[in-house]
Amino acid sequence: MTIQNISVIGAGTMGNGIAHVFAQAGFKVVLVDLHQAQLDKAIQTIGKNLDRQINKGIIKEEDKVITLSNLCTDTSISSGVSIAHLVIEAATENTALKTSIFKEIDVAAPKEAILASNTSSISITQIAAATQRPEQVIGMHFMNPVPVMKLVEIINGFSTQKTVTNTIVELSIKLGKTPCVVNDYPGFIANKILMPMINEAIYSLYEGIASVESIDTIMKLGMAHPMGPLQLADFIGLDVCLSILHVLYTGYGNTKYAPCPLLTNMVTAGKLGVKSGEGFYNYAGGSKELVVSNVFNK
C-alpha cells in the first residue's frame, strides 16, 4: 500500500509536530482533535515553527505555503480517519484513553490502514488488543520537538507484521528521521534508560547530595549532555515522567523504577515543569534563563 493520507489524532505539542513533519514531507494530513480551539492553536504553532525554519534558512517561504496547504483539521475521529492510509494517535499518555481511541479508529479507518501510537511507554500489544487488526498496529515514538529531533523509536507489538514494520521504517526515512526498531516491553528503550537516570537525579536532590544547579551542571559538563536531567524532566513534564516510572515499576516489578517521593509531591502540588511554569526551575514570563524554583533556591 502506498501511504499518502495521514491522520493524526490529538493536536497538542506532539500531534502538531507530527502533522508538521508529514505535511512538510508532502503527505496529505488531517489533524484531528475534539476541540476546534486546540486545532486552531496547533495550526498557528505549525505556522510559527515554519517561520522559524525560514529564518534559519532551512526552508523557503513557498515551502511554508505548500506545507500548510497539505494540512486540514477535523473535530471528528470518524470522518478524520475515513480515507487514512496511516493513523497516528498522539493523545495524552493514558492507557484507558488510548485504547478507547483505538477502538474508535479501528471501526472508522479503512481496513488496510496502519494504526500507530506515539506513546512513550504504554504497551503497543495492549493497545493493539483493543482492535480487530493487531497485526497492523505499531508504535511510532517521536521525540519533542518533532520538527527538530531526528529519532523515531519504532515499537513492534507482539502481533505486528514485519511488512508493517518495514513500511513504517521506510516512511520515517522519507520524513528525514532516523528509525530505530525495538520490541514492546515497558518503557521500550528510550525511557527504560532515560527515566531511571532522571529519577536518580531527583533522588540525589531529595537526599541532599547536591543542588539543582550542581546536578545539571555535572551532567552537562561532565557527561556532555545537552541539558541536565532535572531541566530535561521539566521539559518532558514531571507528570509524564511520573507516569512512565509507574509503567516501568508496574511492568518490571523492580524497585529501581520506584518514583522518588519528591517527584510524586511535585506533581501532586501542580509543579509540572515548563507546562505549568514551574518545576525544578521557574519559567515565568517565558524567560529562557534558568532560574531555580523557589522551593529549592533557599
pLDDT digits (tens, 9 = 90+) for 179-228: 999 999 999 999 999 999 999 999 999 999 999 999 999 999 999 999 99
User: Which DSSP helix (H) or strand (E) runs through 8?
Assistant: strand 5-9
* 161 and 281 co-located in one domain: no
* Strands 281-282, 178-183: pairing kind: unpaired
Cell numbers describing residue 163:
511488512
Domain-located, residue 105: yes
Q: Report yes or no on 298 lying in a domain.
A: no
Q: In the structure grid, which three cell numbers stand for residue 132, read together?
A: 480487530
Torsion, Cα of 158, 136, 242, 208 (10° steps)? 60
- Same-domain status, 170 and 82: yes
Total domain count, the chain? 2
Instruction: Examine the fold and report which residue of 154, 183, 212 is the final residue of a domain before the chain moves on.
Output: 183
Residue 207's CATH number: 1.10.1040.10
pLDDT tens, residue by residue, 53-77: 999 999 999 999 999 999 999 999 9
Domain check: are 250 and 176 in the same one?
no
- Consecutive H or E run containing 17: helix 13-24
Note the pLDDT of residue 285.
73
Decide if 25 is inside a domain.
Answer: yes
Give the range among 15-19, 53-57, 263-267, 291-295 with minimum mean pLDDT. 291-295
Q: Would you state the pLDDT for residue 284?
A: 82
Amino acid 289: pLDDT: 79
Q: Cite the active site residues.
A: 120, 141, 153, 191
Q: 26: domain range?
A: 5-183
**297 falls within a domain:** no
Kindly give, in sequence order, each residue whose CB lies less than 8 Å from that of residue 242, ignoring residues fewer than 6 positions away.
259, 263, 264, 267
Domain membership flag for residue 128: yes
pLDDT band at 295 (very low <50, low <70, confident <90, very high): confident
pLDDT digits (tens, 9 = 90+) for 96-132: 999 999 999 999 999 999 999 999 999 999 999 999 9
Q: How many CB atoms lie within 10 A of CB 44?
A: 11
- The residue from 183, 200, 223 where one domain ends is 183
H or E element, residue 99: helix 95-108
Q: Report the chain's mean pLDDT, rounded to a whole number.
A: 95
